[in-house]
Amino acid sequence: MAFYAGDQDTTIVFNHHYSGEEFIVEPGFLPDSIAIDPELWLITGNNQYTLGVEDLTDPPVSVYPNPVTDRITISFPQNGFTIITLMDLQGKTIVTFSPGSVSSYQLNLSNYASGLYFILIETDSHRYLEKVLKH
């Protein structure tokens, strides 16, 4: 998995040994995007990726419904969204929204092709990355 932030980047290889194994890594900087090359790396549909979260087991962000057909709701228990970014599987930004300081935001995915996407939710102090399946 390749991690990027401005002019910094690093690649980290995860060698898993059992199903459900989790990895916590520090790439040496706060990534703003990730990339997965399906030609080089084996990825399954059950993988989850999280950037910049201290407690990976219970992030305070909710993204639903998932899978989604048209509109997806992103909820945060405190007003604090600053940026929401929709990315493809390679970590390329498709579109970025700045909804301001709200506790909930609806993102319309009806015009996007079916497939897997990442939604990066940035607050004043954290970043959360959620995988979303669009039907």
Q: What is the pLDDT of residue 117?
A: 93
- Give the structural domain span for 8: 2-134
Amino acid making up residue 64:
Y
The token pair at 80 is 């604090």
**CATH number for 117:** 2.60.40.3080
Amino acid making up residue 53:
V
Q: What is the pLDDT of residue 94?
A: 92
Give CA–CA dist 52/5, Å, rounded: 12
Give CA–CA dist 134/113, Å, rounded: 7
Least confident window among 8-17, 43-52, 99-108, 116-125: 43-52
SS3 call for 83: strand
Q: Tell me the pLDDT tens digit for each residue of 37-95.
A: 666 655 555 555 555 544 444 567 889 999 999 999 988 766 666 788 999 888 888 99
Least confident window among 25-29, 46-50, 107-111: 46-50
Q: What is the pLDDT of residue 111?
A: 93
Q: Let me know: does 72 contact 66? Beta carbons within 8 Å.
A: yes
Per-residue pLDDT averaged across 12-34, rounded?
75
Number of structural domains the chain divides into: 1
User: Does a cis peptide bond (omega within 30 degrees of 0) precede residue 67?
Assistant: yes
pTM above 0.85, yes or no: no
